[in-house]
Chain A
Amino acid sequence: LAKTTQPISMDSYEGQEVNITCSHNNIATNDYITWYQQFPSQGPRFIIQGYKTKVTNEVASLFIPADRKSSTLSLPRVSLSDTAVYYCLVGPSYNTDKLIFGTGTRLQVFP
């Protein structure tokens, strides 16, 4: 299983772009990279998923270099409501029981 490493915490200010990098050196060929967001006292919420290059949706962008050993979640112009814990997960699509949530990155956005 691909182990992931991400910063424990990050601080930002409203309006700034935030980039959270996740390291997954032993990612396998069949593995996808998925990011979830969790607010206090709520269940995680799916943000974005990718396999390679760049994926963008209405919430975030996910950048994956050619070697796929890391990935970067980019949140444009964060607001106070983006304060949450962000989890990076790596795993094969066919083994959903192997989905492992680490401790995530706690993002604090200040006014």
Chain B
Amino acid sequence: DQQVKQNSPSLSVQEGRISILNCDYTNSMFDYFLWYKKYPAEGPTFLISISSIKDKNEDGRFTVFLNKSAKHLSLHIVPSQPGDSAVYFCAAFSGSARQLTFGSGTQLTVLP
């Protein structure tokens, strides 16, 4: 059973609007959550992370929100740009296991 789930395989958003990517997890022992972005023919690249003791982390146009009671996190991109079009992976880090568990990814398409 998947411990990290991204239930939306794809999302389309108009340029300039907000993109909201969602992720759910089942293991309450995860210490950090990370978002990676992947372009075709490239490996995933780290985007932003959040500690399990925080509920928000912001970096420029990217903000990650964590709702521990709901075991849910989201990545907000505002304003969205065509260059943001990529697959976004949610990942959870367990300090005890020292490894990342990934979701299946969401393909974001930002329309000009």
* A, B assembled together: no
Interface residues of A (CB under 8 A from B): none
